[in-house]
Amino acid sequence: MEKKKTNAKFIIILVVLIVLGGTYGTYKYMHSLSHEQTDDAQIEKNMNPIIPRVSGYVSKVYVKDNDYVKKGDTLFTIDKRDYQLKIEEATAAMVGAEGSFEVSKADIGSALANISVSDANVQSAGGNIETAKIRLGRITSDYNRYENLYKNHTITKQQYEQALAAKQEAESQVRILQQQEKASQYQKTVIEAKSKVSNKQTEVAAANIKRAKALLDAAKLNLTYTVITAAIDGQVSKIDIQPGQLVQPGQSLFYIINNNEAWVVANFKETQLNKMIVGQKVTVTVDAYPDYLFEGTVTSFSPATGSRFSLLPPDNATGNFVKTIQRLPVKISLNKTNDPEKIKLLRPGMNVAVDVHLE
């Protein structure tokens, strides 16, 4: 009798296990028809690198490891004495350039005044020549008349010689005035050439002013770069700088993590992507907070598998080929309906399990 009771209990337990196993297997099978799951997924957040724009020695650090900061808060400062000297140097160059420009402007003003005087001299010489030519014409007519009278012995030789002398004097006066006009014209040409040179010098001086102003603005801008501030609200990572340390432009020093926004990057097998599309609902379970379910949405698919972005991507055209299932990163945005305080608790790199609802 004892043996029969034992067999009965065993059969009952076996039946219960078969029923439970079958029920669970059926549930998982039915679930798999409308869901795709993976635990190869991590939390991601914006991690802004702190990179100085100028070189120098760190003078003071205002934050400590894991501090929370607000946008505009000072993180650290760089010794600014070298950049203040550059501002003074650029200011001196600016003053020198402005002085040269003023001198060039004065030279142009003087040249323009001289050109005006030369124009007046040329015009005056032209007028005097016209007057002298009119006088020469009149005296020449008188001379011709006196010459005819002298040939007829109507006037004396003295009167004839006086008329001849007057004619020669008028001709000489015209030649002198013509030479003066040429001299005035040449002087005007020289002054105009000097004016062009002065104009060119003024243009160069103006360009020097622009260059000096650009250098001064750059020096002032570099001085502002000696104070490094937070670009966003967030939490800083480990601070790896100390006062007196030399930093260089482009050197990544530490990070500020934006805790207000998070998303998930899940690496699905390529065989799971058949029915997945953008916009599908996703349930996210974070290993650190298993009691809270985050809601998300499939946002985008990576343009290539994760192996293609590795340092040494596989090359299947060489050596022996072994087919392995590849994984494709899928971005999942966390919905705004989630508790913001829970979002702030998430940290980049945390492991999560995602469940994509295919229907």
Cα separation of 351 and 43, whole Å? 7
Give a yes or no: residue 65 inside a domain: no
Residue 260 is predicted with a pLDDT of 86
* Residues 268, 351 share a domain: yes
Give a yes or no: residue 270 inside a domain: yes
Its domain, for residue 278, covers 36-47+256-310+321-358
Residue 108 is predicted with a pLDDT of 60
Mean pLDDT, range 10-22, rounded to an integer? 80
Give a yes or no: residue 351 inside a domain: yes
Give a yes or no: residue 73 inside a domain: no
Final residue in a domain of this structure, among 185, 214, 243: 214
User: What CATH code is carried by the domain that includes residue 169?
Assistant: 1.10.287.620
User: What CATH code is carried by the domain that includes residue 293?
Assistant: 2.40.30.170
Mean pLDDT, range 340-357, rounded to an integer? 93
* Residues 193, 262 share a domain: no
Cα separation of 248 and 271, whole Å? 47
Residue 221 is predicted with a pLDDT of 93
Closest CA to 44 of 309, 300, 312, 308: 300
pTM: predicted TM-score of the whole model, two decimal places:
0.64
* pLDDT tier for residue 321 given thresholds of 50, 70 and 90: confident
Give a yes or no: residue 225 inside a domain: no
Give a yes or no: residue 235 inside a domain: no
Residue 1 is predicted with a pLDDT of 45
Output the CA–CA distances (angstroms, integers) from residue 218 to 54, 56, 60, 100, in the order listed. Answer: 12, 16, 23, 22
Chain segment 140-167, per-residue pLDDT in tens: 776 677 677 767 777 777 776 776 777 7
Q: Which has more confidence, 353 or 207?
A: 353
Handedness of CA 269, 274, 278, 279 (dihedral sign): negative
The answer to whether the beta carbons of residues 353 and 287 sit under 8 Å apart is: yes
pLDDT, averaged across the chain:
82
The answer to whether the beta carbons of residues 219 and 83 sit under 8 Å apart is: yes
Chain segment 228-268, per-residue pLDDT in tens: 999 999 999 999 899 999 999 989 999 999 988 899 999 99
Chain segment 49-97, per-residue pLDDT in tens: 999 999 999 999 999 999 999 999 999 999 999 999 999 988 888 887 7
The answer to whether the beta carbons of residues 337 and 295 sit under 8 Å apart is: yes
Give a yes or no: residue 63 inside a domain: no
Give a yes or no: residue 3 inside a domain: no
Domain count, the chain: 2
